[in-house]
Structure 1
Amino acid sequence: MFHLRAAGVSLVLDTRGTASVLHWGPDLGDIDLSAPAFVPAVPPSSIDVPLRLSLLPSLAEGWSGRPAIENGHGFRTAEAHHQDQTLVVRSASPDATQEVVTELELTPQGVLRVRHRLTNRGDHEIVLPSLDVLLPIPAEASELLDFTGLWSHERSPQRAPLRHGIWSRESRHGRPGHDDAFLMVAGEPGFGFRRGRVWAVHLAWSGDKRIWAERSALGPSVLGAGELLAPGEIRLAPGGSYETPWLVAVFSGSGLDGLSDRLHPWIRATSPLSLPRPVVLNTWEAVYFHHDLTVLGQLADAAAEVGVERFVLDDGWFTGRRDDRRALGDWSVDDTVWPDGLHPLISRVHARGMEFGLWVEPEMISPDSRLARDHPDWILDGGAGPTWRWQRTLDLTRAYDHLLERLSALLSEYPIAFLKWDHNRDLLTPGVAHRQTRALYRLLAALKDAFPHVEIESCASGGARIDLGILPLVDRFWTSDTNDPLDRQSIQRWTGILVPPEYLGGHLGDGVAHVTGRTSALGFRLATALFGSAGIEWNLTRASPQEKADIAAWIAEHKRLRPLLHSGRVVRADSPDPAHLVHGVIAPDRAHAVFALVTLGTPAAALPPPIRFPGLDPDRSYTVRPIGVPPRTMQDAPPPWLAAGEVTLPGRFLSEVGLPAPLLTPEQALLLELA
Structure 2
Amino acid sequence: MTKEQETFHWGHEALHLEIVLDDDGSPRLTHLGLPGEARTSPGASLPLVEVTAAGHGRGWSGNRLVDTALGGRLRHRTHRATRDADWHVLTVELHDPETGLVAEVTYRSPDGIPVLRSEVTLRNEGRTTLPLESVSSLVVGCLTPQDPAAIDAADLLWAENDWVAECRWRRRPMRLTTPAHGGQVSNGHGRAGFALNGQRTWSSCGHLPMGGLTDRRSGRTWVWQIEHNGGGWRWECEERDEAAYAALFGPTDTHHVWRHPLEPGAAFRTVPAALSFSADGGPDAAFAALTHYRRAQRRPHADHQRLPVIFNDYMNCLMGDPTTEKLLPHIDAAADAGAEYFVIDAGWYDGDNGGWWTTVGAWEPAASRFPGERGIHEVLDRIRERGMVPGLWLEPEVIGVSSPMVTSLPDEAFFRRDGVRVTESGRHHLDLRHPAARAHLDQVVDRLVGEWGVGYLKLDHNIDPGSGTS
Query: Is the 2:415–2:429 Cα contact (8 Å) retained in structure 1?
Result: yes
The runs of 5 or more residues in structure 2 that have no matched partner are 1-6, 179-191
2:379 to 345, 356, 360: 345
| Corresponding position of 2:123 | 119
* 1:260/1:415 CA distance change after superposition, 3 Å: farther
Where do residues 170-181 of structure 1 align in structure 2 (5 Å cutoff)? Answer: 170-181=197-208
Amino acid at match of 2:33: G
**TM-score normalised by the chain length of structure 1:** 0.56
Equivalents in 2 of 1:219, 1:154: separation in Å? Answer: 34
* 1:121/1:69 CA distance change after superposition, 3 Å: farther
Other structure's SS at 1:326 match: coil
Percent identity between the two aligned chains? 23
Where do residues 213-292 of structure 1 align in structure 2 (5 Å cutoff)? Answer: 213-216=237-240, 218-230=241-253, 231=257, 233-253=259-279, 254-271=281-298, 272-273=300-301, 274=303, 275-284=305-314, 285-292=316-323
Cα distance, 1:24 vs. partner? 0.9
Equivalents in 1 of 2:41, 2:48: separation in Å? Answer: 16
1:313 to 344, 366, 371: 344
* 1:37/1:156 CA distance change after superposition, 3 Å: closer
Equivalents in 2 of 1:392, 1:20: separation in Å? Answer: 46
Where do residues 296-311 of structure 1 align in structure 2 (5 Å cutoff)? Answer: 296-311=327-342
Equivalents in 2 of 1:10, 1:334: separation in Å? Answer: 59
Deviations 1:474-502 (A, max 9, x none): xxxxxxxxxxxxxxxxxxxxxxxxxxxxx
Greater fraction of residues in strand: 2
Is 1:21 the counterpart of 2:11 in the alignment? no
| Corresponding position of 2:415 | 380
Equivalents in 1 of 2:402, 2:57: separation in Å? Answer: 54
Count of residue correspondences: 411
Equivalents in 2 of 1:60, 1:291: separation in Å? Answer: 55
Query: Is the 1:149–1:155 Cα contact (8 Å) retained in structure 2?
Result: yes
Cα distance, 1:239 vs. partner? 0.8
* 1:306/1:236 CA distance change after superposition, 3 Å: same
Equivalents in 1 of 2:214, 2:451: separation in Å? Answer: 53
Deviations 1:538-582 (A, max 9, x none): xxxxxxxxxxxxxxxxxxxxxxxxxxxxxxxxxxxxxxxxxxxxx
Equivalents in 2 of 1:26, 1:279: separation in Å? Answer: 40
Deviations 1:409-436 (A, max 9, x none): 211112323221110111213567xxxx
Other structure's SS at 1:131 match: strand
| Corresponding position of 1:409 | 447
Equivalents in 2 of 1:199, 1:185: separation in Å? Answer: 5
Equivalents in 1 of 2:19, 2:431: separation in Å? Answer: 42
Cα distance, 1:396 vs. partner? 2.2
2:220 to 187, 197, 202: 197
Query: Is the 1:153–1:178 Cα contact (8 Å) retained in structure 2?
Result: no
Cα distance, 1:384 vs. partner? 5.5
Deviations 1:607-654 (A, max 9, x none): xxxxxxxxxxxxxxxxxxxxxxxxxxxxxxxxxxxxxxxxxxxxxxxx
Cα distance, 1:386 vs. partner? 5.8
Equivalents in 1 of 2:348, 2:381: separation in Å? Answer: 16
1:211 to 230, 235, 238: 235
Other structure's SS at 2:461 match: coil
| Corresponding position of 1:81 | 80
Equivalents in 1 of 2:438, 2:68: separation in Å? Answer: 33
* 1:257/1:302 CA distance change after superposition, 3 Å: same
Is 1:3 the counterpart of 2:9 in the alignment? yes
Cα distance, 1:186 vs. partner? 0.2
Other structure's SS at 1:155 match: strand
Cα distance, 1:61 vs. partner? 11
Where do residues 430-441 of structure 1 align in structure 2 (5 Å cutoff)? Answer: 430=468
Other structure's SS at 2:118 match: strand
| Corresponding position of 1:153 | 165
Q: Which range moved further: 9-18 or 293-302?
A: 9-18
Equivalents in 1 of 2:467, 2:163: separation in Å? Answer: 20
Equivalents in 2 of 1:68, 1:256: separation in Å? Answer: 26
2:140 to 135, 142, 148: 135
Other structure's SS at 2:213 match: strand
Amino acid at match of 1:241: A
* 1:56/1:340 CA distance change after superposition, 3 Å: same
Is 1:393 the counterpart of 2:429 in the alignment? yes
* 1:387/1:56 CA distance change after superposition, 3 Å: closer
Deviations 1:273-324 (A, max 9, x none): 5223222221113223333223211111122222222211001112547623
| Corresponding position of 1:100 | 103
* 1:408/1:255 CA distance change after superposition, 3 Å: farther
| Corresponding position of 1:53 | 46
Cα distance, 1:60 vs. partner? 10
Other structure's SS at 1:315 match: coil
Amino acid at match of 2:124: N
Other structure's SS at 1:129 match: strand
Equivalents in 1 of 2:159, 2:40: separation in Å? Answer: 36
Query: Is the 1:76–1:93 Cα contact (8 Å) retained in structure 2?
Result: yes
Cα distance, 1:37 vs. partner? 7.4
Where do residues 257-656 of structure 1 align in structure 2 (5 Å cutoff)? Answer: 257-271=284-298, 272-273=300-301, 274=303, 275-284=305-314, 285-318=316-349, 320=351, 323-338=355-370, 340-375=374-409, 376-381=411-416, 387-388=424-425, 390-398=426-434, 399-430=437-468
Cα distance, 1:113 vs. partner? 0.8
Amino acid at match of 2:109: L
Query: Is the 1:56–1:67 Cα contact (8 Å) retained in structure 2?
Result: no
Query: Is the 1:69–1:131 Cα contact (8 Å) retained in structure 2?
Result: no
Amino acid at match of 2:265: G
Q: Which range moved further: 140-149 or 243-252?
A: 140-149
Equivalents in 2 of 1:105, 1:298: separation in Å? Answer: 50
Cα distance, 1:208 vs. partner? 0.7
Deviations 1:27-53 (A, max 9, x none): 326x9xxxx97537xxxxxxxxxx722
Amino acid at match of 1:76: R
Amino acid at match of 1:205: H
Other structure's SS at 1:411 match: helix
| Corresponding position of 1:568 | none
Equivalents in 1 of 2:317, 2:57: separation in Å? Answer: 61
Q: Which range moved further: 250-259 or 315-324?
A: 315-324
* 1:92/1:67 CA distance change after superposition, 3 Å: farther
* 1:168/1:318 CA distance change after superposition, 3 Å: same
Equivalents in 2 of 1:334, 1:215: separation in Å? Answer: 58
Cα distance, 1:149 vs. partner? 2.7
Amino acid at match of 2:424: T
